Chain A
């Protein structure tokens, strides 16, 4: 397994698993416009996932579908943040704020990558993700600075997901030795600044440092990923090769 394959797979898995969780909100969001918004955001994430997984697959003679539907839980290298269950709407917006801000910083650097495909994906995605960051920010402001109840739930969501944020910035040998990769550790300070700015403006309190989960990049996941994959993969696995 080449370094490039492993790296592209990480990015693709993040986008795919995030897309699946986002899509679960469709028809369950608090208002119709939000169903539409989350549908669009999920579609952007899925589009990024497809291009990335198709690229990763091309390096090992597989298709995007092989990678999405016919790998097991331990072979997925996404961040645990992406796979956590949806929780309430404040959780969805806290996750989108954390994840989209990270993706935005990452893609912004990656579009200068010497790998043409990665640069191409990032150049497109960075503009889409800017809308995701904006959407999440608007909701965090509205909920945090809303009623006592919305403030309480926004704060609870920000706190609950905080222990999954350090994993985004964990550096390892792969990102250090692969020239086309971005070392995510270099994004952390700016991420912290941007996220803090939104949380402060929302009247919530930025969570303090705490125990941080890790392992997603090595294929160690929470118990939730298996259930997510069961739903994502069961049609493809029940009817291999089917098309319509």
Chain B
């Protein structure tokens, strides 16, 4: 008779799968990993996308499968849920700290959109710490980021935008 898989151990291992677009973050840090459970003898890993069109999801799904294969779990599947919708609040504090160390300004507060007038929120430069920064574009290299420049150290940087 097979040994019953240890769900918390599986969650720990699966949670270490990195986000292919922001590899400093794991899916546990991001809050993309929602649940790991046992359906009879099948391990079900539940994930949620950050954005509807996030192209990283396919790769995350594949890597979860590979991690489970390495644990020699024969029977597993990955389930994607949309609700409750992911927000940047799902990101862990340690994840936010890792982003700063990586040079990406972490999400702060709420979404900065809503009317025809531009709301300017100040972000601290993750490289030199100056609050004197400018948004260059609300859309960046991936769906989840916007593009900024520091006026003090002149370096451009990414911001993980709040949604």
Contacts and interface: CB of A to CB of B under 8 A. Distances in A.
A43 B85 CA distance: 17
Given A40-B143, A41-B139, A51-B52, A121 B82 contact: yes
A46 B49 CA distance: 14
Interface in A62-95: none
Interface of A: 33, 36-37, 39-41, 43-48, 50-51, 116-117, 119-121, 123-125, 127-128, 130-131, 133-135, 137-138, 141, 197-198, 201
Given A37-B137, A123-B82, A130-B114, A44 B143 contact: yes
Nearest to B145: A40
Given A116-B83, A124-B82, A36 B53 contact: no
Give chain A's interface secondary structure class: helix
Contact of A125 (B52, B114, B139): B52
B83 A123 contact: yes
B138 A37 contact: yes
Contact of B141 (A36, A125, A130): A36
A127 B53 contact: no
Contacts of A36: 137, 139-141, 147
A120 B83 contact: yes
Given A36-B147, A124-B85, 6 more contacts: A33-B136, A40-B139, A43-B55, A128-B52, A130-B114, A135-B139
Interface of B is mostly: loop
A16 B56 CA distance: 19
Given A117-B82, A127-B111, A133-B113, A47 B139 contact: no
Interface in B119-163: 136-143, 147, 163
Interface size class of B (residues with CB under 8 A): 20 to 34
B138 A131 contact: yes
Nearest to B142: A40
Given A48-B52, A50-B53, A120 B81 contact: yes
Given A33-B136, A128-B163, A44 B53 contact: yes
Contacts of A197: 116
